[in-house]
Amino acid sequence: MTDIIAIAVTFGSDHTHPEISDKKLADGYMVVEAPTYEMARNIAFAITGGVHAFDYPLDEFLKKERVAEWYPLGELLRIKWGTTSD
């Protein structure tokens, strides 16, 4: 079984992306799951066209003291890594 990591992707105050949300993107974050951090970042870049602010390991991001205050909309979108079993 492949271990899956998740990253949180944040947005700047002027970032918009109608396929992600009709809300202000800076008020939330996107989660991307993948087998490696680099692959998760590449998926994030493919979805946002590179128009996002920062990425963090999700577990570390959620431990930040003011996540709920800084990102009141919480998780806007989650890209899950699909796996199949034989």
- pLDDT per residue of the chain (86 residues) written in tens, 0 to 9: 578 999 999 988 777 666 666 667 888 999 999 999 999 999 999 988 888 889 999 999 999 989 999 999 899 889 999 865 54
At residue 84, the pLDDT reads 58
At residue 62, the pLDDT reads 95
DSSP state of 22: S
Q: What pTM was estimated for this model as a whole?
A: 0.84
Q: Is the dihedral of CA 22, 26, 31, 34 positive or negative?
A: positive
* Residues with Cβ within 8 Å of residue 9, at least 6 apart in sequence: 29, 30, 31, 32, 44, 48, 52, 54, 55
At residue 19, the pLDDT reads 65
At residue 86, the pLDDT reads 46
Q: How far is CA 85 from CA 1, 3, 20, 33, 46, in A?
A: 9, 14, 29, 18, 26
Token output for 80 = 């899950």
